Structure formats: structure tokens, C-alpha cells
Copies of this chain bind each other. A is one copy, B any other.
């Protein structure tokens, strides 16, 4: 069984851990969002790729959901002593080694996809992890604060401002000129089906779909998604602020309608949202309801098994 997923950070990574438990023999390819990537202290940081890599490699901080377990912060406190900013994005010493190694390989001329493969040789995530593109794409947020309308890097809005400043929209800067990384389109075309884990539909999956060619390739496949919204609120993170910016209600059915039947064939919602989702007009999208809180690996595995089951059912 070959399964390809488009994934962001924590939600995608936890779903993937469940998927590995539910379908240990599946060949899984993960197309990771790199729109959240940021250059800090001259180092290339890939938050979403690393969250997937660390989580599947058994090295993630379970408390945070991202970053390395057992972190120390010596380097960043030294950088602060030099007055080198920013201080709002926490980088642990262990995690920094990843960014140093990655940046050195990028500067040596390797594309991000090859660098990611090299880093994964250590972590053995059990999946093929591909960045959505080897090109630079940076998600910017259009905000309207006291300084007028301007755009800021997604991480500044998300991490520094905690998504508290209303977003007017998102610009995946560079996406229109980017091409899918080697292997991305083949992994989609060659998959039995595509899964959309409960990642942010706007700034994670939405940005991946903004790379020319990816949305068309995904739409041609059987696609089952897992709602990242339960009971009118995102399970994690501030996806509601992202949805609001693009005029989508933070509601499981509204997210499915946002993806649309052209892309999505099946949709898993939480039992709390079953009534509303079944009542909504989601023609062309097969909806199933089950508990969606990924409280532990078995819970995530049950969701992954349901997604696989629905995909197989849709494939007939």
C-alpha cells in the first residue's frame, strides 16, 4: 500500500505516528510544508520538516510537540548576550545542530530535498520525507496593525505575535515560481491514495497546494482528509485565526467545503461535529465521524485506520 500525505507540523507528525502503528507495512511519503521556514542567525530552520522528523524518529519533545526532548539553551542565551536577535523563537542546542548541519549542506550546494534525506538517515523516520519544493517559499502574513498594512513573516505573526494581530491574508511568497521537489509529483501520482492529516488547512496544507502542479496532482487521486477543527476550534495552534483571515468559519464542514469536492473525496470529522457535518452541503465528499483527539498513539492509529478504511472504500 502506498500512501502520500501533505503535512504541516505537530498535527501531521502525530497523525503519521498513528499511521505507522496502523499500517506498519505501508510505503509512506510525506510532502512537508516549507513555507514556515525561517532564517534565524543565518541558519535555515525548517520547523515542519523537523517536527515530522523528530516525532517519527522518537526524538521530539512530547510536552511541546516540536523540538528535541531534553533540550538545553546555552547557544541561544549566548547569542542573546551578543544582542543577536530574535529572542522570540526558541532554538535549543540539540535542535540548532540540525539547523547548522542543514545550512552547511545547503551552502555546499545540496538542494533541500537531498539535505532532508541526509538528515533523515540519522532519524530513520520510516517514511520518505520530501520538502514540497527545493525553492525558497516564505509564507508572509498581511497584517494591519498600528503601523499600517504590511506583511510579516509567518513565524513572526505566529510565534512572536501569537496570531493576536488580525491577519488580512497569507502570501506564500515565491510559491508561484517554485517547482515541486524531486519525487513529489511521482509520490502523489504513484500513491494508492492521498491523506490530508489534521494540519493547518491554510498555512500548512494550503501552502503546499499553492506550489504549481501539486493541487492538480492531488485532485487526480482519491483524497481523504482529517478535520483539524473539533467543536468549532482547532485542536492545536491557532488555525482559527488563519481560517478567519481567508473567510472560512472554524468548523469541520466549512474546512471540507474550503478544500472542496474537486480536491477532497472523504472527510473525517469528530463525533462532536457529526450532526453539523452531515447536515452541511458537502456533495461529493464522503463524511465519517469518529473521535479525532490524538491523545496518544493508539488514538492516532485509530484515526489513521479510519482514514485508510474510507480511502479504500472510496477506491471501491
Min distance, Cβ A185 to any Cβ of chain B, angstroms: 29
Q: Which residues of the partner chain B approach A94 to less than 8 Å between Cβ atoms?
A: 74-75, 78
Min distance, Cβ A29 to any Cβ of chain B, angstroms: 22
CA distance A82 to B104 in the complex (A): 12
| Contact assessment for B100 and A41 in the assembled complex, using a CB-CB cutoff below 8 Å | yes
**Among residues 57 to 75 in chain A, which have CB atoms less than 8 Å away from a CB atom of chain B?**
72, 74-75
CA distance A108 to B42 in the complex (A): 8
| Contact assessment for A100 and B72 in the assembled complex, using a CB-CB cutoff below 8 Å | no
| Contact assessment for B41 and A81 in the assembled complex, using a CB-CB cutoff below 8 Å | no
CA distance A78 to B103 in the complex (A): 15
Interface 1/0 per residue, A115-139 and B, CB below 8 Å? 0001101100000000000000000
Q: Is A98 interfacial (CB-CB < 8 Å)?
A: yes
| Contact assessment for B74 and A101 in the assembled complex, using a CB-CB cutoff below 8 Å | no
Q: Is A194 interfacial (CB-CB < 8 Å)?
A: no
Q: Which residues of the partner chain B approach A81 to less than 8 Å between Cβ atoms?
A: 97, 122
Q: Which residues of the partner chain B approach A96 to less than 8 Å between Cβ atoms?
A: 75, 100
The count of chain A contact residues (Cβ–Cβ below 8 Å) is 28
Q: Is A43 interfacial (CB-CB < 8 Å)?
A: yes
Indicate whether A75 sits within 8 Å of B104 (C-beta atoms), given known contacts A81-B122, A82-B119: no
**Among residues 78 to 106 in chain A, which have CB atoms less than 8 Å away from a CB atom of chain B?**
78-79, 81-84, 93-94, 96-98, 100-101, 103-104
| Extra pairs beyond A42-B103, A74-B94 (10, CB < 8 Å) | A43-B100, A43-B104, A74-B97, A75-B93, A75-B97, A76-B97, A79-B101, A81-B97, A83-B122, A84-B101
4 closest cross-chain pairs (CB), A and B: A78-B97, A42-B104, A74-B93, A84-B101
Taking Cβ atoms with an 8 Å cutoff, the residues of A that contact B are 41-43, 72, 74-76, 78-79, 81-84, 93-94, 96-98, 100-101, 103-104, 107-108, 118-119, 121-122
A-B contacts, 28 of them at CB < 8 A, read A41-B100, A41-B101, A41-B104, A42-B104, A42-B107, A43-B100, A72-B72, A72-B93, A74-B74, A74-B93, A74-B94, A74-B97, A75-B93, A75-B94, A75-B97, A75-B100, A76-B97, A78-B97, A78-B98, A79-B97, A79-B100, A81-B122, A82-B97, A82-B98, A82-B101, A84-B101, A96-B100, A100-B100
